């Protein structure tokens, strides 16, 4: 579906409002929010909370840091690989598994992994530390184990990726795995094509509106979650203009779901200030970010401190449809929340921004379980 003279292309301003309104929907329940998003990217860094929690706090009513981990076993949700590692509705696993990695293990690694898998099948949900105890106390540890916890952790992760394990829960942030057997997937060309198209639909639903190069890049990332469908996902991308609504805007082709209208007057925005995670769907695509807001946002957590311009874990500041700059948050030893702000075009003047900032800092404090910000 393309735009015509009767349905003119949206402006960049309309795309901005559409991108915000469709992703930052009215806060709902945790299961509903994950279902609406389709995927929540995970990251272990706490600054001041994990990425998955920072993403969900804007979309789940009364959400508190750690709620996803605490409620995980009661939700129809899985930790797994999609375009990145994160959380997705369990119903989508059939699109990704059984997974066929591009690289095979050598004989030594495969033997280690088979031993680990046998123990997990025997014991049930297993913490990596329990595996070291099992192998050391029962004479099952060959010399190449060397007592290294990270070896077993890496192999468990590898077995998870290879469709042999699933994450049962987390204990203090550490994955506890159990054995799993995914149903065999139908391998007819039509069935493989349908799975690939469903995966691309998930990408578009999560990150739209998308400029064509970004959709192409995300298609390549599906090779991480579903390497066995690399050919089919590339073919699905080549058919994007037949599957999705699209338009030429300032010389670039943009895509969005066929049943949505970026020019709709229903895309109303509130006046709430939001500090967004670096991996939030609104800001995840750096190309789209620069096209919609006119400046380059960088994630600098792995940049040497002297070279950082925005800070260790800069959270983009969204106010209405304006991306004002960024915030860095940190927890002091006394439990107080400190903040530092940076602005692209200077700090907004007036009482409205001051009040919006105070309210957002209060929301962050409540999300973190603090009394109040500094």
- Evaluate whether 15 touches 249 at the Cβ level (below 8 Å): yes
> What are the pLDDT digits (tens) for 144-155?
344 455 677 888
* Residue 20 Cα to chain centre, angstroms: 16
Class of 107-179 per CATH? mainly alpha
Going from N- to C-terminal start, the domains of the chain cover: 107-179, 191-256, 273-368
- Evaluate whether 337 touches 331 at the Cβ level (below 8 Å): yes
- Predicted structure pTM score: 0.92
- Evaluate whether 233 touches 196 at the Cβ level (below 8 Å): yes
pLDDT (tens place) for every residue of the chain, 374 residues total = 465 445 789 999 999 999 999 999 999 999 999 999 999 999 999 999 999 999 999 999 999 999 999 999 999 999 999 999 999 999 999 999 999 998 899 998 899 899 899 999 999 999 888 887 776 544 444 443 444 556 778 889 999 999 999 999 999 888 999 999 999 999 999 999 999 999 999 999 999 999 999 999 999 999 999 999 999 999 999 999 999 999 999 999 999 999 999 999 888 899 999 999 999 999 999 999 999 999 999 999 999 999 999 999 999 999 999 999 999 999 888 888 999 999 999 999 999 999 999 999 999 999 999 976 66
Going by C-alpha positions, the residue among 276, 273, 277, 295 that lies closest to residue 286 is 295
CA angle, residues 71, 75, 77, in degrees to nearest 5: 110
> What are the pLDDT digits (tens) for 81-110?
999 999 999 999 999 999 999 889 999 889
């Amino acid at each position: 579906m393309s735009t015509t003279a009767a349905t003119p292309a949206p402006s960049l301003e309309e795309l901005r409002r559409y991108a915000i309104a469709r992703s930052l929907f009215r806060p709902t329940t945790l299961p509903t929010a994950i279902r609406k998003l389709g995927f929540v990217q995970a990251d272990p860094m706490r600054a001041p909370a994990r990425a998955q929690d920072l993403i969900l706090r804007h979309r789940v009513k009364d959400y508190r840091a750690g709620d996803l981990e605490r409620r995980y076993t009661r939700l129809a949700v899985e930790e797994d690989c999609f375009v990145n590692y994160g959380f997705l509705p369990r119903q989508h696993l059939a699109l990704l598994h059984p997974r066929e990695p591009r690289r095979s293990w050598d004989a030594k690694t495969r033997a280690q992994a088979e031993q680990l898998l046998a123990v997990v099948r025997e014991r049930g949900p297993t913490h990596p530390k329990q595996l070291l105890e099992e192998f050391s106390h029962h004479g099952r540890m060959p010399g190449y184990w060397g007592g290294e916890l990270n070896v077993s952790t890496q192999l468990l992760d590898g077995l998870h990726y290879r469709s042999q394990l699933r994450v049962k829960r987390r204990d203090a942030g550490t994955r506890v795995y159990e054995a799993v057997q995914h149903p065999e997937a139908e391998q007819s060309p039509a069935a493989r094509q349908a799975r690939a198209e469903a995966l691309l639909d998930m990408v578009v639903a999560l990150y739209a509106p998308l400029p064509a190069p970004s959709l192409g890049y995300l298609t390549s990332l599906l090779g991480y979650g579903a390497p066995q469908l690399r050919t089919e996902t590339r073919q699905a991308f080549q058919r994007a203009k037949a599957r999705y609504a699209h338009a030429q805007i300032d010389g670039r082709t943009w895509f969005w779901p066929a049943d949505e209208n970026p020019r709709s007057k229903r895309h109303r925005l509130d006046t709430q200030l939001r500090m967004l995670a670096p991996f939030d769907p609104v800001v995840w695509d750096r190309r789209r970010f620069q096209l919609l807001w006119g400046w380059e946002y960088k994630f600098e957590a792995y940049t040497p401190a002297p070279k950082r311009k925005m800070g260790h874990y800069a959270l983009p500041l969204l106010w209405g449809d304006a991306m004002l700059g960024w915030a860095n948050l940190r927890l002091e030893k006394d439990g107080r929340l400190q903040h530092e702000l940076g602005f692209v075009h200077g700090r907004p003047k007036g009482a409205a921004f001051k009040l919006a900032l105070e309210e957002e800092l209060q929301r962050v404090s409540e999300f973190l379980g603090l009394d109040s910000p500094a």
